[in-house]
Amino acid sequence: MAKLDILRYPDPQLQTVAKPVQKIDESIHTLVADMLETMYDANGIGLAATQVNVHQRVVVMDVSENRNEPMVLINPTITWMSPERSKGEEGCLSVPGIYDGVERATSITVTAQDADGKHQEIQAQGLLAVCIQHELDHLMGKVFVEYLSPLKRGRIKTKLLKALRDGE
Ligand code: GNR
Ligand code: NI
Pocket of ligand 1 (CB under 6 A): 44-48, 51, 90-94, 130-131, 134-135, 138
CA 133, CA 115: separation in Å to the nearest integer?
Answer: 20
Distance 46 CA to ligand 1 centre (A): 6
| pLDDT band at residue 167 under the 50/70/90 scheme | confident
User: From the CA of 101, which ligand is nearest?
Assistant: 1
User: From the CA of 135, which ligand is nearest?
Assistant: 1
Q: Which of 95, 21, 91, 30 is nearest to 55 (CA)?
A: 21
| Residues 56 and 63: beta-carbon distance below 8 Å | no
Q: Whose CA is nearest to atom 13 of ligand 1?
A: 92
Q: Which atom of ligand 1 is nearest to the CA of 95?
A: 14
| pLDDT band at residue 1 under the 50/70/90 scheme | confident
State the pTM of this model: 0.98
Q: Which of 106, 87, 65 is nearest to 144 (CA)?
A: 87
Active site residue 135: yes
CA 93, CA 8: separation in Å to the nearest integer?
Answer: 8
CA 160, CA 11: separation in Å to the nearest integer?
Answer: 10
Q: Whose CA is nearest to atom 16 of ligand 1?
A: 47
pLDDT digits (tens, 9 = 90+) for 13-51: 999 999 999 999 999 999 999 999 999 999 999 999 999
- Tell whether the model's pLDDT for residue 168 goes beyond 80: no
- Tell whether the model's pLDDT for residue 138 goes beyond 90: yes
Distance 143 CA to ligand 2 centre (A): 7
CA 4, CA 102: separation in Å to the nearest integer?
Answer: 27
pLDDT digits (tens, 9 = 90+) for 53-111: 999 999 999 999 999 999 999 999 999 999 999 999 999 999 999 999 999 999 999 99
The pLDDT, as a whole number, for residue 154 is 98
pLDDT digits (tens, 9 = 90+) for 100-135: 999 999 999 999 999 999 999 999 999 999 999 999
Q: Whose CA is nearest to atom 11 of ligand 1?
A: 92
